[in-house]
């Protein structure tokens, strides 16, 4: 089902498990300088991009996402934060969207667009200038996955953390910084995802889609708490592209 008529992302600041403090540290790890250009591929509503540009004067940002609702939310924030002269957001498919190689590229939680982590690392290599930086946010296995995790995330595609870093090295990057989502960040992310739907159900108990929404949130909560919690990790790699 689609999320309409509810906005399932309404309570999320980022569409990934990420706290304000870690977002600040990730931006610092990018060492942005005056005149640089950051491109976020699969930016969602571009919260991290907006914070990065807002934190560093003289930096320009470009975000691309195929989700029209997310781009609309992002554009409202660009306006509200007075960043219209420095941030552009476009609704497009990242895989066919053309841009000059960036000083800094960001790809967080969007590796499925490129067929997985390796495809993303390869695509981003061509989209970051030599000497530039990639911030990659992607899943990995904290522990060997159980049946429910495999059902949700698939058998292949994700690897343990050391293998994820090795993969980045083999794709021509060097590791500048690594951090992973804490259990608190995960719980906050999943709770807010569920709470948007629970609050909608409180306000719309008799809506024709209420049963469907309740079933979706029940299934999601089960998958999280009885499946991937503590098994599926999320890593943020700041990578140099020599
Ligand atoms: C998990 S969300 C992460 C969003 C954002 N990076 C963040 O951390 O808040 C993944 C995003 O990738 C976008 N996406 C997936 N495939 C895409 C594609 N082929 N072209 C553009 N955007 C895509 C989705 O629309 C979604 O907004």
Q: What 3 state SS string does 167-231 have?
A: HHHHCCCEEEEEEECCHHHHHHHHHHHHHHHHHHHHHCCCCCCHHHHHHHHHHHHHHHHHHHCCC
State the average pLDDT over residues 52-79: 97
Tell me the CA–centroid distance for residue 238 and ligand 1, in Å: 18
Q: In the chain, which residue ranges form alpha helices assigned H by DSSP? A: 20-29, 47-55, 68-80, 117-127, 147-153, 161-170, 183-203, 210-223
Distance 115 CA to ligand 1 centre (A): 13
Domain spanning 20-182+230-241: which CATH class is it, in words? alpha beta
Pairing between strand 232-241 and 128-141?
antiparallel
State the pLDDT confidence band at 5, using cuts at 50, 70 and 90.
low
Angle (deg, nearest 10), helices 47-55 and 20-29: 60
Q: What is the pLDDT of residue 6?
A: 83
Distance 163 CA to ligand 1 centre (A): 24
Q: Whose CA is closest to atom 27 on ligand 1?
A: 44
Q: Where are the domains of the chain?
A: 20-182+230-241, 186-225
Residue 105 confidence (pLDDT) above 90: yes
User: CA of 188: how far to CAs of 12, 42, 157, 183, 236, in Å?
Assistant: 9, 21, 25, 8, 17
Looking at the CA of residue 70, tell me the nearest atom of ligand 1.
27
Q: Give 189's contacts (C-beta < 8 A, 6+ positions apart).
A: 12, 14, 16, 17, 18, 181
| Share above pLDDT 90 across residues of the chain, in percent, rounded to a whole number | 94
């Amino acid at each position: 089902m689609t999320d309409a008529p509810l906005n399932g992302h309404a309570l999320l600041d980022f569409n990934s498990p990420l706290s304000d403090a870690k977002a600040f540290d990730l931006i610092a790890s990018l060492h942005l300088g005056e005149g640089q250009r950051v491109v976020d591929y699969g930016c969602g509503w571009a919260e991290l991009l907006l914070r990065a540009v807002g934190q560093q004067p003289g930096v320009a940002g470009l975000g691309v996402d195929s989700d029209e609702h997310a781009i609309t939310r992002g554009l409202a924030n660009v306006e509200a934060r007075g960043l219209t002269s420095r941030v552009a957001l476009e609704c497009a498919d990242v895989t066919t969207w053309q841009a000059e190689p960036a000083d800094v590229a960001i790809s967080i939680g969007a590796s499925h667009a490129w067929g997985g982590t390796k495809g993303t690392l390869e695509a981003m290599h061509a989209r970051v200038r030599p000497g530039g930086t990639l911030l990659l946010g992607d899943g990995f296995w904290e522990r060997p996955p159980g049946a429910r995790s495999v059902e949700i995330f698939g058998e292949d595609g994700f690897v343990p953390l050391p293998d994820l870093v090795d993969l980045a090295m083999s794709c021509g990057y060097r590791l500048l910084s690594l951090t992973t989502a804490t259990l608190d960040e995960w719980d906050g992310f999943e709770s807010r995802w569920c709470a948007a739907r629970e609050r909608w159900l409180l306000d719309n108990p008799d809506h024709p889609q209420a049963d469907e929404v309740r079933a979706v949130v029940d299934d999601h909560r089960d998958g999280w708490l009885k499946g991937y919690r503590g098994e599926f990790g999320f890593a943020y790699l700041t990578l140099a592209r020599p």
